[in-house]
């Protein structure tokens, strides 16, 4: 798996590079600024890009903008965004296309090697990875407007886990229920939110989040 990495802090960039290499990834470019990232994404055509939201020269949202531009040029390019904190706007912009193969992870999570590497692999495979804190913010925003009011407490739990990219089996294990029970809760959630179910779990998650962002 070929990876482009963009992170301005040398120690973190070096640590992430070593971690990815130790887990069988080829880091084809590890850059520390926006112009270098744009070049790397165009020239290297990676399998996945791991990008810090804020990069030199402006330290605002250069990384995110580069990622969005790259996905417009190359639809479906897998991108995992790293951020210091939860920003609803950034998360919403990343999810807006609805294609999947995206992730938004807080930097605190990258210290957990297995979690970080799994997130990169999930996104590279077309999945969706959202930090639990991001999910909580998006869902809370939706609940404040009444979008998820019809859901039962158990359905809220299932929805949160779905939005984190969990499979039905993983949700069942977490909640200590059967997979058939999770399937029933999922069907009920889609019916109440008026979202057409899909066989693609990642698109299903994005559809739920898109509904909650309205």
Using CA atoms, how far apart are residues 125 and 127, in angstroms rounded to an integer? 6
Q: What digits encode the pLDDT tens for the residues 128-143? A: 888 877 777 666 665 5
How many angstroms separate the CA atoms of 134 and 82, rounded?
12
191 vs 93: CA distance, rounded Å = 26
Q: What is the pLDDT of residue 162?
A: 76
Quick check: helix, strand or coil at residue 6? strand
Which has more pLDDT, 193 or 188?
188
Distance CA 18, CA 25 (A): 9
Dihedral in degrees, nearest 10, Cα atoms 142, 146, 152, 154: 10
Is 8:2 a contact under the CB 8 Å cutoff? no
Average pLDDT, the chain: 84
The answer to pTM > 0.85 is: no
pLDDT of residue 165: 66
> What local confidence, expressed as pLDDT, does residue 11 receive?
94
Helix (H) or strand (E) holding 55: none
- 24: phi > 0 → left, psi -120 to 50 → alpha, else beta; which? left
More confident call, 120 vs 201? 120
**Range in 11-20, 130-139, 203-212 with the lowest mean pLDDT:** 203-212
Which pLDDT value is given to residue 173? 92
Burial of residue 75 (number of CB atoms within 10 Å: 0-12, 13-18, 19+): exposed
């Amino acid at each position: 798996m070929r990876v482009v990495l963009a992170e301005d802090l040398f120690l973190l960039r070096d640590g992430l590079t070593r971690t990815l290499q130790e887990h069988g990834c080829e880091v084809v470019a590890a850059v520390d600024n926006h112009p270098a990232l744009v070049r790397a994404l165009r020239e290297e055509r990676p399998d996945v890009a791991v990008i810090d939201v804020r990069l030199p020269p402006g330290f605002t949202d250069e990384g995110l903008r580069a990622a969005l531009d790259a996905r417009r040029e190359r639809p479906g390019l897998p991108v995992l965004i790293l951020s210091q904190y939860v920003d609803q706007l950034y998360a919403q912009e990343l999810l807006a296309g609805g294609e999947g193969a995206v992730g938004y992870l807080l930097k605190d999570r990258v210290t957990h090697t297995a979690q970080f590497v799994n997130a990169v692999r999930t996104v590279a495979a077309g999945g969706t990875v959202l930090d639990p804190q991001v999910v909580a913010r998006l869902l809370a925003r939706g609940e404040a407007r009444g979008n998820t009011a019809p859901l039962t407490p158990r359905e809220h739990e299932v929805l949160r886990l779905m939005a984190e990219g969990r499979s039905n089996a993983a949700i069942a294990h977490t909640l200590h229920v059967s997979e058939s029970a999770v399937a029933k809760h999922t069907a009920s959630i889609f019916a109440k939110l008026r979202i057409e179910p899909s066989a693609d779990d990642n698109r299903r998650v994005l559809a739920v989040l898109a509904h909650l962002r309205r």
